Amino acid sequence: MADSHKVAIVTGASRGLGAVIARVLAERGHDLVIGARGAEALREVAESLRQRGGAVVTVEGDITDAPVRERLVDAARGLGGLDVLVNNASELGGIGPLATVDLQRWVGALRVNAGAPLVLIQLALPLLAERHGLIVNISSDAAHAAYPGWGPYGSSKAALELMTRTLAAELRPGQIGAVIVDPGDMRTRMHQEAFAGEDISDRPLPDVTVPFWSWLFDQQPLDISGERFVAQKAAMPWLQPV
């Protein structure tokens, strides 16, 4: 089922999962605002998306920079509004024990993975309210499991998850939905950074999540708001969020 005249923002969209989510939305007829730090890769993704017929605006830069967030929201406004906001941009924060972690590195992961999504949501709320839109925050099983070495990343994603559930409760009266999505282990650059020097070819590519995204974007935002979904579960179990 294709949507028409809808607009989505996807951060971290120059590769991997973000590019896949943007592609699914483009195939559903959404106009897109896509952001990332890598200008060349972002342009390549945008060109591919435009071949599907919709408008695509690129915003290069770091999501922790206020002007970048403002350009993302202004671009959506210029396209007519905002129906879906996907906070996908993430920072690993390095791998190492929390007992010796550099505080600035931990704060850096928190800023990218939880702080930037929150302030981008705040900025986008007027547009989302007009369309009764959906906020999608990308998390990880590291938000729940205590993986040695993953402290900065896991704790920042745990913050993102509680923030999302709280927003879902607070925004329901305004008919704005917010969900958490754990995409699962995938063969991405960030995952390779976490397992430096190891072979991760046994992990699936991000395309494995396409059936989930196709299902998610068919749902009414308030019907799923506040839920946590695992994208790689088989046989349509998304109807039973975790």
Domain ranges for the chain? 6-239
Structural element, H or E, at residue 34: strand 30-36
Give the Cα separation of 100 and 73 in Å (integer).
38
pLDDT value for 201: 62
Give the Cα separation of 19 and 57 in Å (integer).
14
Prediction pTM value: 0.90
pLDDT value for 128: 98
CATH for 6-239 is 3.40.50.720
| Amino acid sitting at position 8 | A
3-state SS, residue 226: coil
CA distance readout (Å), 65 to 92, 117, 146 = 18, 11, 30
20, 213 Cβ separation under 8 angstroms: yes
- The angle, 0 to 180 degrees and rounded to 10, between the axes of the packed helices 16-27 and 39-50 is 20
Alpha-carbon 30 to chain mean position: 16
Q: Phi, psi (5° rounding) for residue 6?
A: -110, 155
Q: Record the tokens describing residue 159, joined without a space.
A: 């913050």
Beta-bridge partner residues of 87: 137
36, 60 Cβ separation under 8 angstroms: yes
* Annotated catalytic residue within 106, 150, 153, 238: 153
116, 138 Cβ separation under 8 angstroms: no
For 207-230, the pLDDT digits (tens) are 899 999 999 999 999 999 999 999
For 156-173, the pLDDT digits (tens) are 999 999 999 999 999 999
Give the Cα separation of 133 and 46 in Å (integer).
23
Active site residue 153: yes
pLDDT tens digits in sequence order for the chain, 242 residues long = 444 489 999 999 998 999 999 999 999 999 999 999 989 999 999 999 999 989 999 999 999 999 999 999 999 999 999 999 999 999 888 778 989 999 998 999 999 999 999 999 999 999 999 999 999 999 998 888 888 888 898 999 999 999 999 999 999 999 999 999 998 876 555 654 555 566 556 667 888 999 999 999 999 999 999 999 999 875 455 555 55
